[in-house]
Structure 1
């Protein structure tokens, strides 16, 4: 076995059904009493639910709700939230929602040092990582710092029951992408590979049922479990081409996060396939119906989930392909296969057009 390093992040996780009621106990554990609640404009009803739960805790008074969390964590929103936080006298943060809200919570926590309790409602996995992506000046930049990692996470399966089928699908594939890159990460290790494959299996098996029968509690639980594992993988290993492309496309062209990950994943994997034969074999085993071909397995899964496959369906223009290729190759992340600009351009073009992935580059 090759040598490796493994670090265990100090993160507390509470998983189950009805666990939202444990928010006051977790705040007491953190020894805080005045949390600022964060959400997107579309999720104020969930923030209000959290607010009521928090009020039920002895000696805890919410500092208010900041309902403007936005996709890709734009700098001006973080600045506004920071001013709101300072004026509220908050001593902690509670974020409820998907990656947008979690990202804002991370941005505020790393700037203030306040404890951050994350309550995810999607399968994005951001709550398990010390990684923060922020958009400033039209470009999304990422950084990693242990202080970015939320202090604790409460997974409540009940909160995912109303997640629309389409968003469940793309959010779940977004999570799978975290583990796929974890399998060939430069700083990967056997522990993360075990978690990655288990997370992929759980999501690939459960997502088609989640989409077909959204009210199935068992498969919702299986999907959330898989997402937790995939998020933990991303939080412990580095990123490569897939995430670089998604950060470029999302931050520079304002494309939706989960949908972009869903579209890019099979194409980025196809590009890297020649350099990672052992990973491709393991991944194929984790994907139902793959017939030994991981790319085929992903194509089958995306077909079952009935997701959109082209970035042009989300507003990206064909003339943006060249600009995206330029940005994506300017400061590339480490990748198992050398980055060749003309071939990366073709990967992006296929993502834009919505073609099925194929390993011919």
Structure 2
């Protein structure tokens, strides 16, 4: 066994019902005195609750999916104008993403308080969209210094959105199993992340107001993001970034729809990773385990349900080919991408690549 693994420096505070006290302690620990709070209008109430008593100089509520470049520039200018010395994000991946966009150029520290299962708070990945094209990058400056996880803040997240967001987290685990920089530590974290998410999401569906399922899902989300940040972005995330940028698709739902098709495509060419994923699901196969979970939680199934046409999906094939990561478990052709995207568009049952090849012979 031979590998290199780099651990990131980040403080993680996890306590249901304890967000306000934990946030205050983290702001004081970082010595901040001029806090810029970033929270979408839907998160205004929890944001005010967890920031009570803090030295807030600005509350920013202009938050949009995929972080448009022009919005990032406005938020950066506002942070500079108000002399902010810390960014406090309260919300989902779009909110965290905007805080990262500000930190990318300013170097300001971030304290992240997630209210969904996006996982962005535990990665060095940033993303912004301009002219229907999403650009992503990796920079340690965007990694929040502290994360405050409070499962009670996710109870208000509707079940369908909880499911989609949790499957987005699970996609981090799957991509981490064969990402371009994957190592055994990443795979161990991803495996435990899959186990926690597979246990947590059905519990959230069964008892939306209960904390045990929310806690397991949030715990799995963190593990998935740490594994993904280390292993790097795999084929699944490259596809979803292209689709999100081109068609302004809802981020979590796009991941939930595309994931089983990428897993079915790659799994036969990565038997060791496939066995790890299957074991984490407690299933005979990785694809079977994921499908069992998707049925149990009534997961999103088709891209066409989100306003994109099959013809439009075909236009994404070249853009996906341009970003296929090095070291994907198997070669990727234009025909492969087209078949995968069309299956995701229809909401077809995922089929292992070997089955597809046999059906064409």
Which of 148, 157, 167 is matched with 2:142 structurally? 148
Q: Deviations over 1:158-181 (max 9, x none)?
A: 111111111111111111110111
Which of 116, 129, 152 is matched with 1:122 structurally? 116
Q: Structure 1: how far apart are the matches of 2:56 and 2:347?
A: 45
1:193-232 → structure 2 map (5 Å cutoff)? 193-232=187-226
Q: CA deviation at 1:208?
A: 0.8
Q: Structure 2: how far apart are the matches of 1:74 and 1:68?
A: 11
Q: Which residue of 2 is the match for residue 306 of structure 1?
A: 298
Q: Structure 2: how far apart are the matches of 1:206 and 1:27?
A: 30
Q: Which residue of 2 is the match for residue 250 of structure 1?
A: 244
Q: Structure 1: how far apart are the matches of 2:155 and 2:9?
A: 29
Which of 309, 322, 326 is matched with 2:314 structurally? 322
- Most deviating of 40-49 and 273-282: 40-49
Q: Which residue of 2 is the match for residue 159 of structure 1?
A: 153
Q: Which residue of 1 is the match for residue 9 of structure 2?
A: 10
Q: CA deviation at 1:19?
A: 2.5
2:179 alignment partner, SS class: coil
Q: CA deviation at 1:325?
A: 0.9
Q: CA deviation at 1:43?
A: 1.7
Mapped pair 1:358 → 2:351: yes
Q: Which residue of 2 is the match for residue 341 of structure 1?
A: 334
Q: CA deviation at 1:218?
A: 1.4
Q: Which residue of 2 is the match for residue 25 of structure 1?
A: 25
Mapped pair 1:331 → 2:323: yes
1:47-126 → structure 2 map (5 Å cutoff)? 47-52=47-52, 55=53, 60-126=54-120
Contact 1:326 1:341 in 2 (8 A): yes
Contact 2:67 2:129 in 1 (8 A): yes
Q: Deviations over 1:293-346 (max 9, x none)?
A: 211211121111112200000111111122111211123222221111111111
Mapped pair 1:293 → 2:292: no
Q: CA deviation at 1:190?
A: 1.4
Q: Structure 2: how far apart are the matches of 1:296 and 1:255?
A: 26
Q: CA deviation at 1:234?
A: 1.2
Unaligned runs of 5+ in 1: none
Q: Deviations over 1:11-65 (max 9, x none)?
A: 111111122122121111111111100012322222222332xx2xxxx420121
Q: Deviations over 1:204-250 (max 9, x none)?
A: 01211101211121121111111111111111111111011100111
Q: Deviations over 1:228-283 (max 9, x none)?
A: 11111111111111011100111111001110110111100111122101111121
Contact 2:178 2:231 in 1 (8 A): no
2:99 alignment partner, SS class: helix
Contact 2:132 2:245 in 1 (8 A): yes
Q: Which residue of 2 is the match for residue 139 of structure 1?
A: 133
TM-score (norm 1): 0.95
Contact 1:47 1:65 in 2 (8 A): no
TM-score (norm 2): 0.95
Contact 2:238 2:323 in 1 (8 A): no
Q: Which residue of 1 is the match for residue 359 of structure 2?
A: none
Q: Structure 1: how far apart are the matches of 2:75 and 2:41?
A: 13
* Residues matched between the structures, number: 352
Q: Which residue of 1 is the match for residue 38 of structure 2?
A: 38
1:222 alignment partner, SS class: helix
Q: Structure 1: how far apart are the matches of 2:63 and 2:320?
A: 26
Q: Structure 2: how far apart are the matches of 1:235 and 1:12?
A: 15
